[in-house]
Chains A and B, each alone.
Chain A
Amino acid sequence: MANHFSKRAIVGLKKVGDVYCPKNGEFPAYSEVAGIGYLDQLTIHVPPDDFTALNLALAIFSFFPKGIIEWLVLTFQKAANNPSEGILPSTYRQLNLGLRGLVFSTYYSELINPEYKGKTPLQIIDFQINRIED
């Protein structure tokens, strides 16, 4: 059965995404450009238990103010340098990579909001590849 993010989880993801990818000069905020419509498709093979935990975590984040989200994101980020193999730092490290993966996949990507009309993050970093298929 396909995974499906709840509306609450999407609100949480946009808040987290705006911390990872804020409005910054040419760069749009994550919530402006994110390919939310692609999320279910991008998580189709995530194991159900992992997806449920992620969906719940994002839904909880939706209730937090920006300052708390920033603190959480920084805490997850710092866990990468923590040598401890305890359950909390291990979980933080996985959240750090899991959330960044989800956000970047719908930001530094072709899979963005089709309604967005500005310069996309891929255009801003000037990423272009040629495919000669014949």
Chain B
Amino acid sequence: MSNKIYDFIVVGSGSGGGSLAYYLNKSGAKVLLLEAGKFYRKNTFPKTEAETSANLYWGGGIEFGKDGKMGFLRTRLVGGSSIVYQCLMDRFDDNAFDAWKDESGVDWFSNATMDAHYNQIERDMQLHTFTASERNRNANLFTEACDKLGYKWSDLRRGQSDCAHDRGNDCIGCLGGCFRDSKQSSLVAFVQKAEKEGLEIITDTEIHKVEPNSNTCKIHGIQNGQKVSFEGTKVILSGGAFGTTRMMSMSGFKSKLPALGKKFASHPQFMWLGFQNEPVDAHKLAFQTVASKDPNFRKEGFKLENVFAPPISIGMLMNVTGKKHQDYMKKYRYMQCIEVAVRDENVGEIQCDNNGKLTIIKPLTDQDKTRRDKGLAAIKNILQTAGANEVFESNFYFGLHLMGGCVMGTDSDKSVVNPEFNVHGEKTLYIADSSIYPNAPGINPGLTIKALSHRLSTQLLK
């Protein structure tokens, strides 16, 4: 172990860690950003869907819950999941913060408190709200059918600078990393800027153990097969719901903090396809520009998004085989696609054995199923109203928004971090990522993860 003691070590470079490292580094503090994955740039991201899955995701692609029903997607590279997500930047509503306050006992969860932090993040990212002229046919079919059915919808706000849609750029290609540095991932909006300002970044380093004491915190891991250790006055874990829970579990915190690994939620997502008589070309141009904004849907616990996916992923959605499957795939350009994301109950659990092997328990509760079914019924209405000659009702579902496992709260029997982001009882160890989410907000989590990191940065720099 080197004798260097950093002011701050941030473990994980996704939405939470990347933005936190940026703000801490900006203050002139001695900051180290550690990342388990590799450092890809706009000109080195994989160019094919297959290589993206194989290289950017833990486990080489999709990971499964213990019952094999639900798939989970989590990345390992600088920028984390913000590299492959759509970078939709939504603030939480009062309903989401009230639910957090009720669950956690943390009284500062509110839009009034978070407003300043949202404002700062929004100033530091380039945001764009789509307009009618930017919608592709998949989006137009969605909005026209919603209007006929009386469902409310809205244009999405996305982190992007210049996607060159006017020159025919197809953004589905950026699901493996934006090759224009337009998408405002943690890499583009924060990490690369901090790197230019001197942030020390070490990649390919997987942390297995954290050892906090009264003055500093030591961390231990593996870098390219070699054991490595680092020490900081304060260490902040930002490895996401699975990664942070794993580091905490392998460090023996489960016996002290019984809530570790509990209250896992993931906004289970179900994508259905409608086949149109004319090409939809849902994969062309800006492929996700609108979503539902219906107060009834919000009340009922789901939202609809106008999405699509490249061929391998679409093939995975259709659980049929042989010629029937190929015949569906031949209609790829004719597919209209809508997804429902369920605001699920946080009854899941992330378990970790002594070797760091994760087991994910994620049942759908009766309430989750009711919300799913209402959302799928709305999707079917939209697809049929839009003129689909057939609806493919996929039974495959997956989680992209992995939340909980190290939730924030006032009671150390029911939570892992306190309202100051400190691991209960540990003055030198903090957590800043989606693992601290007390429950599922039903809203894209990315902006709020960053806003929470900004809040922590102001607190650490006092």
The docked-state distance in angstroms from the alpha carbon of A44 to that of B51 is: 10
Of residues A22, A42, A50, which shows the largest number of chain B Cβ atoms within 10 Å of its Cβ?
A42
Question: Is there a chain A Cβ closer than 8 Å to B169's Cβ?
Answer: yes
Residues of B within 8 A of A125 (CB): 311, 329-330, 332-333
Query: Chain B's nearest CB lies how many Å from the CB of A129?
Result: 4
Whether the Cβ atoms of A129 and B283 lie closer than 8 Å is yes
Residues of B within 8 A of A53 (CB): none
Known contacts A19-B321, A130-B168, A131-B170; A109 and B59 CB within 8 A of each other = no
In-complex Cβ contact of A111 among B50, B64, B71, B326 (8 A): B50
Whether the Cβ atoms of A24 and B179 lie closer than 8 Å is no
Residues of B within 8 A of A27 (CB): 326, 330
Known contacts A77-B319, A77-B321; A85 and B67 CB within 8 A of each other = yes
Identity of the chain B residue whose Cβ is nearest the Cβ of A133 in the assembled complex = B179
Question: Is there a chain B Cβ closer than 8 Å to A74's Cβ?
Answer: yes
Whether the Cβ atoms of B312 and A108 lie closer than 8 Å is yes
Interface size on A, residues (CB 8 A): 50
For residues 46 through 63 of chain B, which have their beta carbon under 8 Å from a beta carbon of chain A?
47-51, 53-55, 57-62
Whether the Cβ atoms of B330 and A130 lie closer than 8 Å is no
Which bracket fits the contact residues of B?
35 or more
The docked-state distance in angstroms from the alpha carbon of A41 to that of B52 is: 11
For residues 78 through 116 of chain A, which have their beta carbon under 8 Å from a beta carbon of chain B?
79-81, 85, 89-94, 96-97, 100-101, 104-106, 108-111
For residues 51 through 83 of chain A, which have their beta carbon under 8 Å from a beta carbon of chain B?
73-74, 77, 79-81
Identity of the chain B residue whose Cβ is nearest the Cβ of A20 in the assembled complex = B321
Whether the Cβ atoms of B323 and A94 lie closer than 8 Å is no
For residues 10 through 38 of chain A, which have their beta carbon under 8 Å from a beta carbon of chain B?
19-22, 24, 27, 38
Whether the Cβ atoms of B59 and A45 lie closer than 8 Å is yes
Residues of B within 8 A of A127 (CB): 283, 310-311, 332-333
Whether the Cβ atoms of A101 and B312 lie closer than 8 Å is yes
Question: Is there a chain A Cβ closer than 8 Å to B377's Cβ?
Answer: no
Whether the Cβ atoms of B54 and A44 lie closer than 8 Å is yes
Question: Is there a chain A Cβ closer than 8 Å to B173's Cβ?
Answer: yes
Known contacts A73-B321, A93-B67, A127-B332; A44 and B316 CB within 8 A of each other = no
Whether the Cβ atoms of A93 and B68 lie closer than 8 Å is yes
In-complex Cβ contact of B66 among A21, A77, A90, A126 (8 A): A90
Whether the Cβ atoms of A97 and B60 lie closer than 8 Å is no
Residues of B within 8 A of A42 (CB): 50-51, 53-54, 60
Of residues B49, B62, B396, which shows the largest number of chain A Cβ atoms within 10 Å of its Cβ?
B49
Whether the Cβ atoms of B323 and A24 lie closer than 8 Å is yes
Residues of B within 8 A of A105 (CB): 49-50, 53-54, 312
Query: Chain B's nearest CB lies how many Å from the CB of A43?
Result: 6
The number of A-B residue pairs with CB atoms under 8 Å apart is 146
Whether the Cβ atoms of B332 and A126 lie closer than 8 Å is yes
Whether the Cβ atoms of B316 and A97 lie closer than 8 Å is yes
Whether the Cβ atoms of A104 and B283 lie closer than 8 Å is no
Q: A80-B319, A85-B69, A110-B50 are in contact. List 10 more A-B contacts (CB 8 A).
A: A21-B322, A73-B321, A91-B68, A93-B67, A104-B311, A105-B50, A127-B283, A131-B173, A132-B164, A132-B180
Identity of the chain A residue whose Cβ is nearest the Cβ of B285 in the assembled complex = A130
Identity of the chain A residue whose Cβ is nearest the Cβ of B65 in the assembled complex = A90
Whether the Cβ atoms of B71 and A97 lie closer than 8 Å is yes
Question: Is there a chain A Cβ closer than 8 Å to B429's Cβ?
Answer: no
Residues of A within 8 A of B326 (CB): 21-22, 24, 27
Query: Chain A's nearest CB lies how many Å from the CB of B404?
Result: 21
Q: List 19 A-B contacts (CB under 8 A).
A: A21-B325, A21-B326, A42-B50, A42-B60, A43-B60, A45-B55, A46-B59, A80-B319, A80-B395, A81-B395, A97-B68, A104-B312, A106-B50, A108-B312, A108-B315, A111-B50, A121-B311, A129-B173, A133-B180
In-complex Cβ contact of A130 among B169, B316, B325, B395 (8 A): B169
Residues of B within 8 A of A91 (CB): 68
Whether the Cβ atoms of B167 and A132 lie closer than 8 Å is yes
The docked-state distance in angstroms from the alpha carbon of A77 to that of B311 is: 19
For residues 105 through 120 of chain B, which have their beta carbon under 8 Å from a beta carbon of chain A?
none
Identity of the chain A residue whose Cβ is nearest the Cβ of B327 in the assembled complex = A24
Residues of B within 8 A of A44 (CB): 54-55, 60
Whether the Cβ atoms of A89 and B54 lie closer than 8 Å is no
Q: Which 4 A-B pairs have the closest CB atoms?
A: A93-B68, A45-B60, A132-B169, A105-B50
The docked-state distance in angstroms from the alpha carbon of A125 to that of B47 is: 19
Whether the Cβ atoms of A97 and B168 lie closer than 8 Å is no
Question: Is there a chain A Cβ closer than 8 Å to B132's Cβ?
Answer: no
Identity of the chain A residue whose Cβ is nearest the Cβ of B57 in the assembled complex = A45
Question: Is there a chain A Cβ closer than 8 Å to B29's Cβ?
Answer: no
Residues of B within 8 A of A80 (CB): 319, 395-396
Query: Chain A's nearest CB lies how many Å from the CB of B308?
Result: 11
Question: Is there a chain A Cβ closer than 8 Å to B320's Cβ?
Answer: yes
Whether the Cβ atoms of A110 and B48 lie closer than 8 Å is yes
Query: Chain B's nearest CB lies how many Å from the CB of A124?
Result: 6
Query: Chain A's nearest CB lies how many Å from the CB of B189?
Result: 20
Residues of B within 8 A of A46 (CB): 59-61
Query: Chain A's nearest CB lies how many Å from the CB of B377?
Result: 19
Whether the Cβ atoms of B50 and A77 lie closer than 8 Å is no
Of residues A47, A74, A79, A104, which shows the largest number of chain B Cβ atoms within 10 Å of its Cβ?
A104
